[in-house]
Amino acid sequence: MGSILNSRSLARALLASVALAASVVLAGCDTDQVSLATNAKANQPVSPKLVAAMAEKDMDLQSPILIRLFKQEAELEVWKQTRNGQFALLKTYPICRWSGDLGPKVREGDRQAPEGFYSINPSQMNPQSAYYLSFNTGFPNAFDKALGRTGSQLMVHGDCSSRGCYAMTDEQIAEIYSLGRESFFGGQKAFQFQAYPFRMTPVNMAKHRNNPNMPFWRMIKEGYDHFEVTRQEPKVDFCEKKYVFDAAKAPDAKRDPVFDASAKCPAYVIPEEIASAVREKEQRDEAEYNKLVAKGTPVARLNTGIDGGMNKIFASKIPEGSTGLSEGAEGNTLQMLAMSKAPGTIPGTVNPPKPNIDAVAAAPQEEPVVAVSTSPSNTRVATAAPAEKSGGFFSNLGHKMGFGTADATATTSPPQATASVAPATTPTTAASRLKAAVTRFVPGHHEAAKDKPAVAAKSAEPAKPAETKVAATRPALKPSVNESAGNVTGSGVGQLAGAAPVVSSNSFDNRFSAVK
């Protein structure tokens, strides 16, 4: 059954490509359109193994998808709607590289990978990425804009290289891209992208309780909880500079509530069946959190200038590799992982996370522990920010659906270290903090070497071509990633309320018409 579905997928893609190529020739042989019609990378069918996993989980090839991503665990999950209308976990992908710190993106050039809820429509898919394939996260959304946050070209792409993006291997992004493509063929207008600092468990919340970002994290945890209890894509809105999830019209209201990220919240209600289930989960989580705090669960160290993280499976494959801010595995564990197969090709130019000496030396000599309020707050997001570059795969499709214009390019902003400080339990001088950071994160550095100054390599990504250019030296396509799929279950196929649509210049209109 799986092989039949996969064959149909390939045949449909080829037929659509031929139809698009023919229409392009008749229209005047636009070379940009021809390149799209023959783009082997973007037309790769979903792997037979993944199609078989869908059949086992009662999923259709073209049913809606939803993506969740976790920085600390360095994992990206693809969820897919089953025939009963709920979402189940299809597959978990280890993230090859992400940059910045745990916490949301604040400004252009801070190297931060975004956190929050975003909406990915067809025009945000970029088949001509210089990073093999990519899709634009849509940062900043309306919530980000209401807080004055800036940034552009924040992507999920291949090549395992990040300057504010989430980077996978080429094989991984090819598979994720194909899943998104098929969901659009099935009628999904946009899929939800949820990015978190870590899995929002009581243990992780307790470990990070003194982090200044905790109020924001408690806010987006509400959306996390809505998905956990319903296995449905949460409806996302925002008002009063906060997220609101699954808002509905009040019983006595004559029209649906209208939300504005910067304005006062309108009258709304959350359906009781959802509200009660979320409330019960929050109470259980809070009780467990309080127990962990009461027994003195250690507080996680704040970033000491380390730029991002990497899943341990990739760190094990790189000389002197480190997981950085992601969950680590050192010594024998990394050596054992080095014997396993990597999920895709790791470029030789990959830089593992390392401490930034300038950031550590510039840190204040003393740092108080920050007390953060634990009271939960409402939340909501929505909007895909317009961009100045183009290259998207489905742009005319996006126009048909009423989307606007935005980027589809991987970030090329220059490397810029994000300086954070360590908690009060760490050494209180810049020199001692630098020494500790180098000793911990730079393999080969020994405490005994006191006669030589400690030097750590400053993280610097190799120069990349502009995202809108096709990387001519890269192979045309990579094989699918052969990994086992996980499982679990949500619904909803619309774009986040208030999302600024993203449309690029390359047309996919004819191909989609041929398929539909």
Active site residues: 157, 165
d(CA 409, CA 121) in angstroms, rounded, equals 14
C-alpha 498: how far from its chain's center?
A: 20
- C-beta neighbour count of 382 within 10 angstroms: 27
On the question of a cis peptide bond just before residue 414, with omega within 30 degrees of 0, the verdict is no
429 secondary structure, DSSP code: S
Instruction: Please count the CA atoms within 13 angstroms of the CA of 429 that sit on its side-chain side.
Output: 3
Spatial strand order of the sheet with 116-120 comes to: 87-94, 75-81, 65-70, 191-196, 116-120
d(CA 270, CA 278) in angstroms, rounded, equals 10
Smallest Cα–Cα separation from 446: which of 435, 457, 431, 430?
435
Pairing relationship of beta strands 87-94 and 236-239 according to DSSP bridges: unpaired
Smallest Cα–Cα separation from 103: which of 24, 1, 235, 220?
220
**Residue 131 near residue 159, CB atoms below 8 Å:** yes
Measured torsion, CA atoms of residues 57, 61, 66, 67, in degrees rounded to the nearest 10: 90
The residue count of the chain comes to: 516
**Residue 404 near residue 133, CB atoms below 8 Å:** no
Say what angle helices 214-230 and 272-294 make with each other, to 10 degrees: 130
Task: Work out the widest C-alpha separation in the chain, in whole angstroms.
Answer: 77
Residue 155 pairs in a beta bridge with: 136
- C-beta neighbour count of 292 within 10 angstroms: 17
**Residue 67 near residue 78, CB atoms below 8 Å:** yes
User: What separation in angstroms does the CA of 156 have from each of 125, 163, 174, 247, 306?
Assistant: 10, 11, 11, 29, 21
d(CA 21, CA 38) in angstroms, rounded, equals 8
Pairing relationship of beta strands 191-196 and 65-70 according to DSSP bridges: parallel
Measured torsion, CA atoms of residues 105, 111, 117, 119, in degrees rounded to the nearest 10: 130
**Residue 160 near residue 169, CB atoms below 8 Å:** yes
Report CA Rg, the chain: 23
